Structure 1
Amino acid sequence: MEAIRKQATKLREQAAKQQQEVLKRFSGGLGGSDNGIPNEAELLQHQNLEKLYISTRAGKFQRDIVQGLEGYIVTGSKQIEIGTKLSEDARKYATKNICTSSSTLSKAALSYSMARAQMEKEHDILLKALETQVAEPLRAMIVGVPLEEARHLAQRYDRVRQEAESQAIEVSRWQARARESNSNPEYMSKLESAEIKLHELKSSMVTLGKEASASMAAVEAQQQRLTLQRLITMVEAEHNHHQRVLQILDQLETELNCSRNLSWNLSHSLHK
């Protein structure tokens, strides 16, 4: 039993030592820090890429805006349909009314019909603007080539980084075998080959990391800039829409009040 415990302890110590050697070699480079990038710099680069990858996330915020607008446009189209029906009903009443006592309500209904038709037209203009000036550009951004290329570079970097980590473990294994065999020529040759491959992988990792970081940063900046502009466009379109609708309502309210006052005055004069 005691022998088993000693063997287990020895194996744990060897595993811990091997792991430390791997981390040291991977972070410090081949034969020293001059042959690789510093661990802190590599870690910062990796963390920065992860943040950029999460930030862009295939245009998640942009996708949310598009989905929201799609629902808004569907609902708005239904509202236009209902409003147009209301306008038609008011127009029919105005043209077919047979009330003999007064035509005031008919005139008011006609004014309302025309105003409602104008408002629904403005509503349709708004929905088309939201689709063509906001939703479509954001859709193009979501599936755009720059984003796909940047994320592809980031994925390639991550694969090479994993390969380099695995290769560092392989180098550590051949180092241990070479030491145990008193620098056996065959083991030394394989160790040298493993170190060369690790150096190549780390060199590729550094290059890909820089390219991916620059590409992802450019995409992120473009996303931020263009999305902000689309938000401003959306707000401006809604602001202009509500202003025009308010003008229509102001005019309609004035016309209806004039009709009511005229009707009251006429009724009052008839009862004198």
Structure 2
Amino acid sequence: MEPNIWPQIVRNSNQISKTSKRKPNVFRQFLKPESFKAFSEQTALIIVDTPKSEPPGASPAVNSLSIHAVLKHFVGGNGGSDDIGSDETELQQHQRLEKLYVSTRAAKHFQRDIVRGMEGYIVTGNKQVEIGTKLSEDSRKYGCENTCTSGNTLSKVALSYSKARAQIEKERDNMLKLFRTQVTEPLRAMIVGSPLEDARHLAQKYDRVRQETESQVIDVARCQARVRETNVNPENISKLEASEMKLHELKSNMATLGKEAASAMAAVEGQQQRLTLQRLIAMVEAERTYHQRVLEILNQLEAEMLSERQNSETPHMGAADSTKPPPCNVSEYFVSQTFDRSTDGTGYFLGEVIHAYQAESDVELTLALGDYVVVRKVTNSGWAEGECKGKAGWFPFQFVERRERVLASKVAEVF
């Protein structure tokens, strides 16, 4: 054998070893001094056995084919198609497991980041609830004491603010509870759950068997070298057969474990993706609901506060002012002849509220859209006096419409 073929063998072995991250270790093992003699004799044997059908000028091609045959022979036993380095199925399985491992690890870290972030948000939110509740209590206390001697506008506003603030903090507390039960607890359970750990253990077991298989490939190559170095030796042949049988079992176990690990890791990956997405959606929905409710509360509070301020700044009107209800003890405000024809024998009739009305004083009646009112009096100034849900008072007459027929259930609600 020509001496200059060894650099080519080394280069070729390094090229083939790129198909596996661990394969370079295998070839370096063969090129160590203690294995050099067996390797060279085996190489010479195979090159000698190579067919001489090529023309004299084609020696590089012959050398390349011979080198490839040597390397395949060493790592695969007999250069069969089940060689661990050239087995594309096993290589794809290994690469897929690596990608699944990276994917599940990244998803686990993302879930942990969400849990940590939400736990911090919950702690801060609980502190805000505590502060807001204290502010609500202080506002209620001032409103109830009503120490102002020139009016009670601020006291009323303080009571309204106290009520609204308490509602806001209740909504905030509900949102934080949803964060805890719908987001952090499910994600934390999956982070430490058994499916992920079981799948990772399978992947690690597969990796150990794969490393053991590669070591066994080296052992088979050594046994083959010993058999070829010596004459017929039953002991060496028995060791070779046992080593090859063990290699076959390891390859079979590796293939089975690879499929199981890939299936388990893929299932965990899908579960991670689905559950994390669901928890994020639940988190956003809870926060959106909270802000919607807070906006409604603040809009209502603002309207009440502006109304109180307007009432306090507007000069008091006389009794003849049409914007105020007439006194209840003035007889000239009884229903006029125009309305006599629309009342029954007692002078009362039922009216349905078509526009909501908020009472501005103790003598006025608050009406909600759809309520039914027993109308007792109607004045020429456009005000009416009646009863709704057990309360009596004045209200704008144009806010109700007469109804001839009313369901019995609606009549019961009036009283």
Q: TM-score, normalised by structure 2?
A: 0.58
User: 1:152 aligns to what?
Assistant: 201
User: 1:43 aligns to what?
Assistant: 91
User: 1:3 aligns to what?
Assistant: none
State whether residues 28 and 39 of structure 1, in contact with CA within 8 Å, keep that contact through their aligned partners in structure 2: no
1:138 shift after superposition: 1.1
Among candidates 234, 247, 268, match of residue 185 of structure 1: 234
Q: Rate the CA distance shift 1:10–1:104 in 2: closer, same or farther, 3 A.
A: closer
User: 1:256 aligns to what?
Assistant: 305
Q: Which has the larger radius of gyration?
A: 2
More off after superposition, 178-187 vs 122-131:
178-187
Alignment of 1:59-208 (within 5 A): 59-208=108-257
Asked if 1:247 is matched to 2:269, the reply is no
CA RMSD of aligned residues (A): 2.8
1:14 shift after superposition: 2.6
Q: Rate the CA distance shift 1:268–1:21 in 2: closer, same or farther, 3 A.
A: farther
Distance in 1 separating the partners of 2:218 and 2:85: 17
1:39 shift after superposition: 2.6
1:266 shift after superposition: 3.6
1:11 shift after superposition: 2.9
Deviation string 1:75-120 (CA, Å, 9 cap, x unpaired) is 1001101111111111111112311012111111111111000000
User: 1:5 aligns to what?
Assistant: none
User: 2:258 aligns to what?
Assistant: 209
1:53 shift after superposition: 1.1
Higher relative CO (Cα under 8 Å, sequence separation at least 6) belongs to 1
Q: Secondary structure at the match of 1:59?
A: helix
* AA matched with 1:209: G
Among candidates 24, 30, 36, match of residue 14 of structure 1: 36
Q: Rate the CA distance shift 1:31–1:50 in 2: closer, same or farther, 3 A.
A: same
Higher percent of residues as strand: 2
1:151 shift after superposition: 1.2
State whether residues 157 and 209 of structure 1, in contact with CA within 8 Å, keep that contact through their aligned partners in structure 2: yes
Q: Rate the CA distance shift 1:96–1:231 in 2: closer, same or farther, 3 A.
A: same
Distance in 2 separating the partners of 1:55 and 1:26: 35
* AA matched with 1:119: I
Distance in 2 separating the partners of 1:115 and 1:109: 10
1:56 shift after superposition: 1.1
* AA matched with 1:243: Q
More off after superposition, 241-250 vs 21-30:
21-30
State whether residues 76 and 217 of structure 2, in contact with CA within 8 Å, keep that contact through their aligned partners in structure 1: no
Distance in 2 separating the partners of 1:156 and 1:250: 62
Distance in 2 separating the partners of 1:134 and 1:35: 48
Distance in 1 separating the partners of 2:37 and 2:199: 38
State whether residues 115 and 248 of structure 1, in contact with CA within 8 Å, keep that contact through their aligned partners in structure 2: yes
Q: TM-score, normalised by structure 1?
A: 0.86
User: 2:81 aligns to what?
Assistant: 33
Higher percent of residues as helix: 1
State whether residues 75 and 217 of structure 2, in contact with CA within 8 Å, keep that contact through their aligned partners in structure 1: no
Q: Rate the CA distance shift 1:83–1:146 in 2: closer, same or farther, 3 A.
A: same
State whether residues 75 and 218 of structure 2, in contact with CA within 8 Å, keep that contact through their aligned partners in structure 1: no
State whether residues 36 and 199 of structure 1, in contact with CA within 8 Å, keep that contact through their aligned partners in structure 2: no
Q: Rate the CA distance shift 1:35–1:54 in 2: closer, same or farther, 3 A.
A: closer
1:259 shift after superposition: 1.0
Runs of 4+ that moved beyond 6 A: 20-23
More off after superposition, 182-191 vs 35-44:
35-44
More off after superposition, 217-226 vs 31-40:
31-40
1:260 shift after superposition: 1.2
Q: Rate the CA distance shift 1:83–1:63 in 2: closer, same or farther, 3 A.
A: same
Deviation string 1:164-218 (CA, Å, 9 cap, x unpaired) is 1111111112122222223432112111111111110011000100111011101
Distance in 2 separating the partners of 1:23 and 1:148: 39
1:267 shift after superposition: 8.2
Structure 1 unmatched ranges of 5 or more = 1-8
Deviation string 1:16-45 (CA, Å, 9 cap, x unpaired) is 959x89974697576511576943222221
Q: Secondary structure at the match of 2:254?
A: helix
